[in-house]
Amino acid sequence: MKCIINRRAQFSASHRYWLPELSEAENVQRFGLCTRALGHGHNYVLFVSIAGELDEYGMVQNLSEVKRVIKQEITSQLDFSCLNDVWSEFHQTLPTTENIARIIWQRLSPHLPLVCVQLFEHPELWADYRGNDMEAYLTVSTHFSAAHRLAHPSLSSEENYHIYGKCARPNGHGHNYHMEVTVKGEIDPRTGMIVDLGALQRVIEEQVIEPFDHTFLNKDIAYFAQVVPTAENIALHISNLLKLPVQELGVELHKVKLIESPNNSCEVFVTTSNITDSFEAFPQSLSART
């Protein structure tokens, strides 16, 4: 029986975004504060997902061996390093989160049957790389607070209570929604980026956070006047709002995940026809586990 296992590791490192062929003003315009001469650092968290058949001992791989390989090939070299200097691959292509994940895959793949490398720069930004040339996934997480009432406009109060329970109470209730937006694109061979992160964050802010935050969704968002604002419908509407603006940035919207509470979340996939291929193999986000 085929199985996928995940191994977690971590390292602390610094990096700097700077292209010598650009002027100082051009670098600052493109990379902002990340151009500072001494760089900046992160506590990176790495998840390595590997696949295989269970052996006679009930294992895909001996985790002691997996741990040894990750330490030897990755963490012992990157921990307390300047990423721009430690590996030659980062001399040509900047050590962005997505490109670090790609190079980690390249260094581990001769030793482990990989299916995904997931790298967290911090709990609100991470990349997934799955071995497909320069293609990578980048996820930005954010949040907004809103109230809603679950009640279908064509049903009576009794019918709505039967379907939605106390969520149909007439004055509604609120949530601190946590949202994860995942985009898919090609890593630029020079900048190491699949998308301008600042531009992506602005799109999310303008299309979702600003109009949704501190609202009563049923009354303040026109779409939900006739559509019940379940977590599923909210995530679907957000994906529709983001799809075109994200595409205009040069990447594809892959997924919107909406976490309504620690117990309830949903995911809307945009660029895959097989949902199980997209999430069953890989660890959850750090923020979803907190």
Catalytic residue among 82, 167, 232, 266: 167
Mean pLDDT of 25-42: 94
Domains along the sequence of the chain with CATH: 1-131 (3.30.479.10), 137-290 (3.30.479.10)
CA 11 to each of CA 23, 58, 81, 117: distance values in angstroms, whole numbers, following the listed order: 32, 30, 9, 14
pTM score, whole prediction: 0.92
The proportion of the chain whose per-residue pLDDT surpasses 70, expressed as a percent, equals: 93
Q: At what angle do helices 231-247 and 197-204 cross, to 10 degrees?
A: 140
pLDDT tens per residue across span 65-98: 999 999 999 999 999 999 999 999 999 999 999 9
The proportion of the chain whose per-residue pLDDT surpasses 90, expressed as a percent, equals: 90
pLDDT tens per residue across span 95-149: 999 999 999 999 999 999 999 999 999 999 999 999 999 999 999 999 999 999 9
Q: Is 143 a catalytic residue?
A: no
| Confidence at residue 56, expressed as pLDDT on a 0 to 100 scale | 87
Q: Which of 246, 202, 254, 184 is nearest to 32 (CA)?
A: 202
Kind plus residue range of the DSSP H or E element containing 108: helix 97-108
Q: Is 82 a catalytic residue?
A: no
| Confidence at residue 275, expressed as pLDDT on a 0 to 100 scale | 46
Catalytic residue among 40, 162, 173, 214: 214
Q: How far apart are CA 168 and CA 214, in angstroms?
A: 20
Q: How far apart are CA 103 and CA 189, in angstroms?
A: 12
Q: Which of 178, 201, 137 is nearest to 287 (CA)?
A: 178
Q: Is 254 a catalytic residue?
A: no
pLDDT tens per residue across span 44-59: 999 999 999 998 888 9
pLDDT tens per residue across span 232-248: 999 999 999 999 999 99
Catalytic residue among 98, 121, 180, 260: 260
- Indicate the pLDDT class of residue 285, thresholds 50, 70 and 90: low
